[in-house]
Structure 1
């Protein structure tokens, strides 16, 4: 039998817990009893733990009892976890798990709990796309990858946001019992064993309105107003009232990216919006976004978000925004 622990705390995201638990439970229907999973919830005290959605979870044991006896320990995430101060009891439990367990890791923002415990230095990790920049800034020694659904680094496993915990757990099942069992579980749960693309397909590249008081803000506003046209650095410099050489340097200082990078990100975001909300042909979407062809748009979207325009539309558009079948 394989013993699994999921660490929980007040305000935990229920899906971060329930998703992996259901994967392990479904896997038990396809494997021998002596190789089955036994999942235990671990918390600071034996008292019920209230999740962020108001549900209550009943722990099976406490952090003080340690991680010995578990094959795998996962820590779930929670919406408020990135802002919380480190929890000494949780950190101690995770440090113990890193020493005595064959595998340990996190779901979603549970990566912050691992970071609090000092377990991410020098490791390739991921977390929810909204929180990944914060994790990278707070813990610069961690090698945070923003676009991964899950990552394995040695015996450390981390996943992206919320439902990505299911992807991670399916990978653990495949490692333990083979791809066929993982596929059977995925079919039972009506999910992909390996979804296409990374989590960047869920996150906007350009979310803040440009600050027109800054040179970069004036240039960004120009890009958004002329997105379907060819845009040069010289045009952006003129919009900012600066020389091209000085403008490029100032833009990078103010935004952290080059002007050309901002232009491409803006085109990608508009393409995603049009694919989600309109039934326009791909060549029309490409033209409206400033791509020279539908093929160029396809190549850029595959590079940026890991899926083609057609696949993105199929995954994220409303039925009314999909082209009529031939």
Structure 2
């Protein structure tokens, strides 16, 4: 990010008449009007804001996942993705090759979704204060109604430095959690989850969690069926269980035959429609309730109750999208028992009622 600070300082003097007004800036480029970043052909516009030291995997996964989202009826692309940077041209990565970025930050003003990947630089503390100036000014043009902003991994430092995450729940890579807390105490950091979403701001943990977040955004826009097709085409799970806790190094128990809770989870998925007790789940795994609860949390990052609730919400979403079953029947089949319980849990998890969710993702029949 030291390179980013230098680039931003160079750009700041020309921003008012150049990049943010749709002109190109940077070494080797002219200052005349730039071509429009987006085709404006009805597709959802996604701008990826990259910085020196960008990780090619994080840049590529955004293009791959959103690029794979297709309309179910005619196969047309649902998203258009462009990459932009403060100084267009060759940009170094954390690999042994650079990438060429054609678009300046003027692309941000046209985007409906802006995604900020991480950089390999390790000097967030040195640069974070200055990010609140030049880059926050550029990104400030993005904060208009209907535009959402997301970060991958330590890209959350950029959003936090701009002040956007104050008072909000956010996450970043667990290795950077301590530094993030010291720099941004006003942010409600949750280092245990794979991604967060609050209003129009989204954050994700490490690189692979960027996949989880992109699939989540596609699911919000176009429903589980489209997101599942994208996951299937890219050979990744449509939804991963648990959070970062399962990836943080921890002492491994020695000795024979530590059993897993996987069998109990598989059994629970086959029996979601009926009441399931913790004692019953522990019995499937041939463990005491205390041991089962501890191991379940270690393996999934969630308590058994949290995990069951999440699976039941996902089952309800699937039934609402793919069937015409009444809400009460959906509630029963998903294991919530009553429509009132289903409404309560869907409101807590998704912020919408079952009927509103069905109207959005299934539509009139």
Q: Give the Cα–Cα distance (whole angstroms) in 1 for the partners of residues 111 and 184 of structure 2.
A: 27
Q: Distance in 1 between matches of 2:82 and 2:89?
A: 14
In the alignment, what sits opposite 1:61? 103
CA distance in 2, matches of 1:29, 1:99: 27
1:298, distance to aligned residue in structure 2 (A): 3.0
Which residue is 1:77 aligned to? Answer: 118
**Which residue of 245, 252, 269 corresponds with 1:270?**
252
What is the CA deviation profile of residues 43-76 of structure 1, one whole-angstrom value per residue up to 9, with x for unaligned ones? 011111111113322223112x262221100101
In 1, Cα distance between equivalents of 2:222 and 2:245: 30
Matched residue of 2:82: which SS?
Answer: strand
Name the counterpart of 2:228: 183
What is the match of residue 129 of structure 1? Answer: 174
CA distance in 2, matches of 1:283, 1:16: 35
- How many Å apart are 1:296 and its aligned residue? 3.3
SS at match of 2:115: strand
Which is further off, 34-43 or 2-11? 34-43
1:44–1:89: 8 Å Cα contact kept in structure 2?
no
Contact kept? 2:71, 2:77, Cα under 8 Å: no
Contact 1:41 1:58 in 2 (8 A): no
1:281 aligned to 2:257? yes
* Equivalent residue number for residue 110 of structure 1: 155
Tell me the CA shift for residue 157 of structure 1. Answer: 0.6
> Aligned-pair distance for 1:192?
1.0
- Is the 2:45–2:81 contact (alpha carbons within 8 Å) kept by the matching residues of 1? yes
Where does the alignment leave 5 or more consecutive residues of structure 1 unmatched? 206-268, 285-292, 309-326
Alignment match, 1:227: none
Report the equivalent of 1:24.
66
The answer to whether the Cα contact below 8 Å between 1:40 and 1:59 also exists between their aligned partners in 2 is no
**What are the Cα deviations for residues 268-319 of structure 1, in whole angstroms up to 9, with x where unaligned?**
x333xx5xxx8x31269xxxxxxxx6653331132345269xxxxxxxxxxx
Work out the CA distance in 1 between the residues paired with 2:157 and 2:196. 15
Q: Which residues in structure 2 correspond to 1:100-249 (within 5 Å)? A: 102-204=147-249
- Unaligned regions of 5+ residues in structure 2, if any? 1-42, 261-286, 303-365
**How high is the TM-score relative to the length of structure 1?**
0.64
Counterpart of 1:92 (choices 124, 133, 137) is: 137
| Separation (CA, whole Å) in 2 of partners of 1:203 and 1:12 | 23
Three-state SS of the structure 2 residue aligned to 1:77 is coil
Q: 2:121, 2:143 → 1: CA distance?
A: 24
* TM-score under structure 2 length normalisation: 0.58
Give me the CA root mean square deviation. Answer: 2.5
Alignment partner, residue 43 of structure 1: 85
CA distance 1:283–1:178, change in 2 (3 Å)? closer
Cα distance per residue 1:11-56 (max 9 Å; x no partner):
1122121112110111137575776211111101111111111332
Distance in 1 of aligned mates of 2:224 and 2:152: 21
Q: Residue in 2 aligned with 1:298?
A: 292
Structure-2 change in CA distance of 1:122 and 1:307 (3 Å): closer
Question: How many pairs align?
Answer: 230
